Amino acid sequence: MRNHILIILIITLFSLNSKAQSTALGTVSIDLLNEITLLGIKPLGSINFIFSSPITAGSPIINPIPNTSKWINYTSSIANSNTNKRITVHSSEVLPGIDIKIVASPANSSGAGVKGTSSGLITVSAVAQNLITGIKGAYTGNGTNNGHQITISLDVSNYGNLIKLDNKQITITYTITE
Amino acid sequence: MKIKNIKIFKWINNSTKKTILCLFFIMISYLNSHGQLVFRSIWINSANKDWSVTPSITEAGEDYQVQESASDQMKISVAVPLTSQSKISVHHTGGTTWNENLQLSIRRTSSGVGLLCAGCEISGGISYIPIGTTASQFFTVKILLELFGFNDINLQLKLQGASVTLPAKQYSTTVYYTISSL
């Protein structure tokens, strides 16, 4: 009997010093804390508009063909669900007698998230106006055929103010903001 | 000092002494490299137990890319009884500090270092397996005779589903590695 007690005692002493661990653990953390706000116009490069002279006397100036080559891409993340972002547009100057009009199409199916809503056709001026509103956490995809297609058109709005312009360059600025 | 001269052993017969010696050597064989007596044990190298990632986006219109850790991001070691088979399972806690759209995967990129190991075998887990909130088998180990188990088995992690569509905040979870009999 005492022999058995001794054996049990020895085993117990070893067990007390044992490491009966069966689970180990580590942590994984991902930091998405920084809100992201990125905007791009694709493809890069300028676009040209040319007004054509009328063929017959008394006819109006022929407006240039609207340009649909540009696409708005954006990436937006938000920390607060109440946050909305918007894209505004303004021009470096206004041409006498000519309206520059811009409309953004609804976002296409590329990307994901809560993409923005087009504000419809706006006449661009030196003052920033909303082009797209209601952007939350979303991305549109990068490049042509992703995001919102932009249609830019130039119309004569006032013949009385028209002046002759050669290679006039105007910068249209798009800004994404809260 | 001879064992027969120790007072406590005087009332033990020779047969029992041999039994005690056998038990002693068997237990010595269960000591791991840290000098701890183990029956089935798993531990993680404290210098390689965490993975923190801060993804970035450089182009408008893009989302976060799939994140992949270094191939030796985590190192775990296991010790198991002689002539036994064990399985290592993995799961994570998830919870409020996590988002169900974030998908973790893990794979084994090395077999670890086994010393004085005979009939040792480690298998499975070399391709990514998803880590869910319930335990799933990761890999198995089989040992016939060895002293120190499998040390520093390299593990690589992959994170999918990080997106700007998720609320911008810090996400974290705890990954559990559990060893049990197969």
Closest residue in B to A144 (Cα–Cα): B61
Length of chain B equals: 182
Give residue-wise pLDDT tens across range B69-81.
999 999 998 887 7
**Residue B107 structure tokens:** 């794979």
State the nearest Cα–Cα gap between B84 and chain A, in angstroms. 15
Q: Do A21 and B174 touch (CB under 8 A)?
A: no
A12-21, A50-59, B6-15: least confidently modelled range: A12-21
Higher pLDDT, A89 or B44: A89
Q: Considering only CB atoms, which chain A residues are within 8 Å of B38?
A: 18-21
Q: pLDDT category, A21, cuts 50, 70, 90?
A: very low
Q: State the pLDDT confidence band at B82, using cuts at 50, 70 and 90.
A: confident
Nearest to A72 by CA among A100, A48, A106: A106
Give ipTM to 2 decimals. Answer: 0.82
Q: Which residues of B touch A6 (CB under 8 A)?
A: 8, 12, 16, 20
For the CA atoms of B16, B18, B24, B30, the dihedral, rounded to the nearest 10 degrees, stands at -110
Please give the average per-residue pLDDT across A72-92, as a whole number: 95
A31 vs B50: CA distance, rounded Å: 14
User: Looking at the partner chain, which of B11, B60, B74 has a beta carbon nearest the beta carbon of A40?
Assistant: B60
Q: What is the pTM of this model?
A: 0.79
Q: For the residues A41-59, what does the mean pLDDT come to?
A: 92
pLDDT at site A33:
83
Structure confidence by residue, pLDDT tens digits, B128-161: 999 999 999 999 988 776 666 688 899 999 999 9
pLDDT score recorded for residue B177: 94
pLDDT reading at A164 higher than 80: yes
CB atoms within 10 A of CB B84: 14
pLDDT of B1 strictly over 50 = no
pLDDT at B7 over 70: no
pLDDT at B23: 61
Strand, helix or coil for residue B15 = helix
Q: What pLDDT is recorded for position B143? A: 76
Minimum CA–CA partner of A143 in chain B: B61
Give the chain B residue whose CA is nearest to the CA of A78.
Answer: B168
Measure B98 CA to nearest chain A CA, in Å.
9
Write the residue in B11, B61, B177 that is nearest to A23 by C-beta: B177
Look at residue A17 and tell me whether its pLDDT is greater than 50: no
Cβ within 8 Å, pair B51-A29: yes
Answer yes or no: is pLDDT of B32 > 80: no
Q: Which chain A residues are closer than 8 Å to B162 by Cβ?
A: 30, 32
E strand or H helix that includes residue B22: helix B14-29
**A32:B169 CB<8 A:** yes
Tell whether the model's pLDDT for residue A43 goes beyond 70.
Answer: yes
pLDDT bracket for residue B26 (50, 70, 90)? low
Residue environment code for A66-80, b if the CB has 16+ CB neighbours within 10 A, otherwise e: eeeebbbbbbbbbee
A83-115 per-position pLDDT tens digit: 999 999 999 999 999 999 999 999 999 999 999
Q: Which of B14, B44, B63 to mutate to test the interface with A (most CBs of A within 10 A)?
A: B63
Burial class (CB in 10 A: 0-12, 13-18, 19+), A32: buried
Please give the pLDDT value at position B111. Answer: 87
Residues B19, A23: C-beta atoms closer than 8 Å: no
Picking from A13, A32, A36 by the largest number of B CB atoms within 10 A of its own CB, the best residue to mutate is A32
Residues of B in contact with A140 (CB under 8 A): 60-61
The pLDDT of residue B39 = 66
Q: How big is the A-B interface in CB pairs under 8 Å?
A: 196
- The pLDDT assigned to B44 comes to 87
pLDDT number for residue A167: 87
